[in-house]
Chain A
Amino acid sequence: DGGITQSPKYLFRKEGQNVTLSCEQNLNHDAMYWYRQDPGQGLRLIYYSQIVNDFQKGDIAEGYSVSREKKESFPLTVTSAQKNPTAFYLCASSIRTSNQPQHFGDGTRLSIL
Chain B
Amino acid sequence: SQQGEEDPQALSIQEGENATMNCSYKTSINNLQWYRQNSGRGLVHLILIRSNEREKHSGRLRVTLDTSKKSSSLLITASRAADTASYFCAATPYNTDKLIFGTGTRLQVFP
A binds B: no
